Amino acid sequence: MVLTASKSLFKIFWLICFLIIMIIAYIDPGLGALLWQTIIAAFVGLLFYLKKTRRWIVGVFRKMFGRSQKPSDIVAEIPAKETRKAKSDVR
Amino acid sequence: MPPSAPSFRDPAGCCCSFNGRVLRFVAADAVSEFEKFLQTNCARQFIAGKKFVSTRRLNEDETAALRESPDLQPVFHAPPKGAVFFEHERIPFPSYPHEWPPEMLWAAGRLTLELAQAALVDGFGLKDATPRNLLFRGSEPVFIDALSFERRHPGDPIWKPHAQFVRTFLLPLLANRRWGLSLAEIFTTRRDGLEPEDVYRLCGPLEKIKPRTLSLVSIPTWLSRRADPDDQKIYQPHLLANPEKAQFILESLFKRLERTLDSLKPAAQKKSVWSDYMATHSYDDPAFAAKEKFVSEALREFKPARVLDAGANTGHFSALAAQAGAEVVAVDLDAACAGAIWRRAREQKLDILPLVVNLAHPSPALGWRNGECPSFLDRATGAFDGVLMLALIHHLLVTERIPLEEILRLAYEVTNSLLVIEFVEPKDEMFRRLTRGRAALHASLNATVFEQACTPYFEIVRSLALPGTQRRMYCLKRKGGLH
């Protein structure tokens, strides 16, 4: 409960910081170029999960065949539940 | 050099040159983040590598002295309360994108992306991406707008200055490569580069669907036509709950931009009317060796710390001056020549800043009230201890129709001490070629007339007729007190 509240406070803090940044962002962000960047970002976001899932699968196979894992592979391992949830995290 | 007008676009602070110093005041609410950025690994590493301008906070006494200075008031219009003053190191000769060969714009773009990526790791983002953020120290770019970094939201996958990077780096390089538009043509009239829509109009049907043009020009143009320009939601932040994902998206964007930038890097063996001059000039070997020896001796004798090589061509004599220990600014009207000098200077680590400037039509003052970028001559006047004008005078006299006295007066205003000038007789092969039937205009010109014209401005230290040519070298010393 306390943890959830502190997480929410942290998010609110960042949102406020970001809104301040948005106010002082003074350059012209373009229109078409900004939309195109957003579209590409969505695709690259999907690649992120594909890459993570691939790493996780490789990690599982390594475990099955008894090969030692590199530290980076351990970091890359994420529960499948989180992978599913993250697909809808673009607000 | 006159004080530059202060920068004014960034609400977080303002920067200007003042009494030979580069000062910046940072608004009270931005000081803490600014100083935190200067302490990051990214900033420290780039400052140590001389790729980022070194910066120090002025102490209270220095700040009080500045605030009381009556000369500062017209420059900084009353800095707000709580604003903190910083001083940056001075980069020797400021230059601007409209004077750079495309190679230098490419190098500036590369450094911008390197910094953006390095700052990302430290939790900071680059808030603008324009070549005006950089100057060149010799042939190496230096990021000077230290206030361009701000803490970024870890969940933000969008880089707002992306469009500006495309407008001011990628599209000018594309237009230069594809249609031969010079950077002077682009940046003299457009501070913020080329819009995708501007380039779209230049593209033929096939060009529009080439992969690079499609991504940089066509799709953004089509999207902007379809989008509602009044829809402010487009500009709302799209924050992700997963910071790792946001960082992955941004890293991928920077890598993509890097690949595109590299694909637009100007070709090394670009040809132009003047780029082969060193291989095809009319001197035979003894004449060229005599000319080289004459210039070397003058440089050894006067030891100029800063040299302007006017009409530098491929930079042979600029390199000679740099090897003699001078900081050299090499100007030529040919972008291919300036690009070749930049490559050579970078490879051989020579302190040469090559610029695309036509001395008869030098870059004007630009920006708001003509105060943001001083003209080339404003920056050059009195800024050099030595000027080289080799194989240039006939181009100015004949092609540009500049009177001889005017040429010498300009050299007088630019140099503080030495002028090495090559006088070309009207009988010279190249001189005659340039006259195109107007030889009578220069019939009375000879070495005696030239020497008389020099007398009000310079003392003749020595001269040398180049063997087998109609050319004579002069080593001149500036006379003092004439203005």
Per-residue pLDDT tens for B70-118? 777 655 666 667 789 999 999 999 999 999 999 999 999 999 999 999 9
Q: Based on the domain organization, do B301 and B172 belong to the same domain?
A: no
Residue A36 Cα, gap to closest chain B Cα (Å): 6
* Domain-terminating residue out of B69, B90, B111: B90
**Of the spans B16-20, B215-219, B268-272, which averages the highest pLDDT?**
B215-219
Q: Residue B329 belongs to a domain with what CATH number? A: 3.40.50.150
Q: CB–CB of B420/B388 below 8 Å?
A: yes
A8, A14, A28, A31: which to substitute to probe chain B, counting the most B Cβ within 10 Å? Answer: A31
CB contacts of B234 in chain A (<8 Å) are: 31, 34-35
- pLDDT exceeds 70 at position A15: no
B138-159: average pLDDT: 95
Look at B11 and A15 and tell me if their CB atoms are within 8 Å.
no
Residue A61 within any structural domain of the chain: yes
Range of B21's domain? 1-90
A13-34: average pLDDT: 63
Amino acid B294 reads F
Q: Which of B12, B155, B161 sits opposite A27 (nearest CB)?
A: B161
Amino acid B186 reads I
Q: Based on the domain organization, do B289 and B434 belong to the same domain?
A: yes
State the total domains in chain B: 3
Q: Based on the domain organization, do B142 and B287 belong to the same domain?
A: no
A13, A23, A35: which to substitute to probe chain B, counting the most B Cβ within 10 Å? Answer: A35
Look at B235 and A34 and tell me if their CB atoms are within 8 Å.
yes
Residue A91 within any structural domain of the chain: no
Q: Based on the domain organization, do B350 and B431 belong to the same domain?
A: yes
- When computed from its CA atoms, the radius of gyration of chain B, rounded to whole angstroms, is 25
Residue A17 within any structural domain of the chain: yes
Q: Which of A17, A36, A86 sits opposite B242 (nearest CB)?
A: A86
Closest CA to B99 of B359, B421, B368, B320: B359
Residue A78 within any structural domain of the chain: yes
CB contacts of A25 in chain B (<8 Å) are: 127, 160
* Helix-strand-coil split of chain A, %, nearest 5: 75, 0, 25
A53-64: average pLDDT: 89
pLDDT (0 to 100) of residue B440 = 87
Residue A40 within any structural domain of the chain: yes
Q: Based on the domain organization, do B47 and B138 belong to the same domain?
A: no
Residue B483 within any structural domain of the chain: no
- pLDDT exceeds 90 at position A12: no
The H or E element spanning position B306 is strand B306-310
Q: Based on the domain organization, do B398 and B448 belong to the same domain?
A: yes
Return d(Cα B210, Cα B124) in angstroms, integer: 34
Q: CB–CB of B142/B101 below 8 Å?
A: no
Pairing of strands B134-137, B140-143: antiparallel
Report residue B98: phi and psi, to 5°: -70, -5
Q: Based on the domain organization, do B52 and B131 belong to the same domain?
A: no
Return d(Cα B457, Cα B411) in angstroms, integer: 9
ipTM here: 0.77
Range of A11's domain? 2-86
pLDDT (0 to 100) of residue B382 = 94
Task: Write the pLDDT tens digit of every residue in B149-207.
Answer: 999 999 999 999 999 999 999 999 999 999 999 999 999 999 999 999 999 999 999 99
Q: Based on the domain organization, do B319 and B448 belong to the same domain?
A: yes
* pTM (two decimals): 0.87
Residue B247 Cα, gap to closest chain A Cα (Å): 10
Residue A54 within any structural domain of the chain: yes
Look at B234 and A33 and tell me if their CB atoms are within 8 Å.
no
Q: Based on the domain organization, do B141 and B75 belong to the same domain?
A: no
Residue B136 within any structural domain of the chain: yes
Residue A1: pLDDT band by 50, 70, 90 thresholds?
A: very low
Q: Based on the domain organization, do B75 and B115 belong to the same domain?
A: no
Q: CB–CB of B292/B371 below 8 Å?
A: no
Look at B10 and A26 and tell me if their CB atoms are within 8 Å.
yes
State the total domains in chain A: 1
Return d(Cα B156, Cα A18) in angstroms, integer: 9
Residue B271 within any structural domain of the chain: no
Question: SS3 for B309?
Answer: strand
Q: Based on the domain organization, do B115 and B262 belong to the same domain?
A: yes
Q: Based on the domain organization, do B74 and B106 belong to the same domain?
A: no
Which percentage of chain B shows pLDDT scores above 70?
93
A32 touches chain B (CB under 8 A): yes
Task: Write the pLDDT tens digit of every residue in B226-235.
Answer: 988 888 888 8
Residue B256 within any structural domain of the chain: yes
Closest CA to B282 of B468, B447, B472: B468
Of B33-47, B217-231, B337-351, which gets the smallest average pLDDT?
A: B217-231
Task: Write the pLDDT tens digit of every residue in B391-447.
Answer: 999 999 999 999 999 999 999 999 999 999 999 999 999 999 999 888 888 889 999
Here the contacts of B438-441 (C-beta below 8 Å, separation 24 or greater) are: B438/B398, B441/B398
CB contacts of A35 in chain B (<8 Å) are: 220, 223-224, 227, 234
Residue B272 within any structural domain of the chain: no
